[in-house]
Structure 1
């Protein structure tokens, strides 16, 4: 399950609630494209902005519409008791796995993070993916802490931040981590611009934002990287450089992906929880021009 392309769709919403029909259509498109797994309620799914009831509903909707594609549900929260509730709701919904980031307001220690994963793993009957996302959690995993957590029996994957855009450096990074974790724990790359480099460097999975909107495009890159076709994988990533530039210039992938979804009619406007907003003005025009030029599918 924690290999290949894991596509992360948006959770379209406004202040009145989740746009359930739009969300299920996004999920159904991923099923039609035959992605390897679907990840919901990650950063792209705005899990931190949803109530417990809304999160449980999203998990249930995704599983109901995912057919035989495995669903991985984000369960991160500030308090361990809430993480445990989200984990139970995800399991009751029929999730194939869960994704856990050490969310915090007060900066966490290594021992506190280990205790979180240890406690949650004791309650799980499904595999867990460790979500290493310092950009939002402000917690920096060491490789040694990853090694400790990866020994827990329910841990089956680690979602690492973007690697350097250098194959040799990325290979060294992946090798260091592999030397500390069990052989059956996969490593997945996040950060779409780093996907080709990460997978060619030995990552097993791509946890993808753009895959949630354009699964065929993301699958082509994933399959080339899995086949170790360096030329093709790099060429496909380079071709998407105008999109990666949008990520860099507009604060990451979420606002760009949400803006694309609105512009292309995949979701209605607005689709983000306030105070978050999609791009407007000249930035929105630039996004529209990139989508048209790339002919994304």
Structure 2
């Protein structure tokens, strides 16, 4: 497959009071991404609270998103504690029409490199779904070494790596180090919105973006500027979003993006318990930040 490099926009997965997915609200979030023609939709990532959803809920969300995707590729989260569960989730995603799966080494017992290698190899082999490696040590407490990523990139069906963006000063060296070990053609991209523009400028193929799930046009403009080697424009647009990046760092991107979805898109959803919505003072900070941004950025 040709992996969909560029902007991968990650929406939240709104749920009803009983925890079931609010498919109507999900469609309201996905349709603007389709209309903006993002390069892919990152469904059921950490922003999409995949680990809080059942297999059936994930399947329903993927089917609903694919049905309105208009050909925009869907990259669906397939992480689970057990390898056999991840295989089944990947098979479900493939059957629903997802283009690729986003696989993290979810664990309770800390995993060894060899266990992660076998986990990813098995899911790729038994599901037939192209796999993007999801390196997110902040949630999984597992950090991929460059050597392990190099080994995994040579497994048939593993096509991309999503890395957490290091600081802006380190990102160029980080990207170069990965390029030297992964197979030629393996897509390398970054998450961690506040430093991802620098990752694109350094040569990364993709930005896996939380705020892209709500402001796809602005985020696409950053990506397109970096793709045409206009680093100044990419940095200028990214700097305008600094109030959002500061909130992400202070309160976590997940909590903040739920609040922005309500304030900016009238999506009245709460994060899955035990995660709580932002407190009134924190919510007021989000409102103030949004009010201070140029209106043309909020799209």
**TM-score, scaled relative to structure 2:** 0.96
1:175 is matched with 176
Partner of 1:240: 241
Structure-2 separation of matches of 1:230 and 1:57 = 40
Equivalent position SS for 2:31: helix
Mapping 1:215-226, distance limit 5 Å: 215-226=216-227
Deviation at 1:132, TM superposition (A): 0.3
SS at match of 1:73: strand
TM-score normalised by structure 1 residue count: 0.96
Contact 1:196 1:225 in 2 (8 A): yes
> How does 1:133-212 map onto structure 2 within 5 Å?
133-166=136-169, 169-212=170-213
| Alignment size in residue pairs | 293
Which residue of structure 2 aligns with residue 87 of structure 1?
A: 90
2:15 is equivalent to residue 13 of structure 1: yes
- Runs of 4+ displaced beyond 6 Å: none
Q: Which runs of 5+ in 2 are unaligned?
A: none
Is the aligned partner of 1:288 residue 2:291?
no
Corresponding position of 2:258: 258
Does the Cα contact within 8 Å between 1:224 and 1:232 map onto a contact in 2?
A: yes
Whole-Å separation in 2 of the counterparts to 1:175 and 1:58: 36
1:124, distance to aligned residue in structure 2 (A)? 3.0
Report the CA distance between 1:271 and its aligned residue.
2.5
Partners of 1:172 and 1:36 in 2: CA distance? 26
Let me know the Cα RMSD of the aligned residues: 1.0
Q: Cα distance, 1:266 vs. partner? A: 3.4
Distance 2:158 2:87 in 1: 15
For residues 17 and 52 of structure 2, what CA distance do their matches in structure 1 show?
Answer: 11
The aligned runs of 1:262-273 (5 Å cut-off) are 262-268=262-268, 270-273=269-272
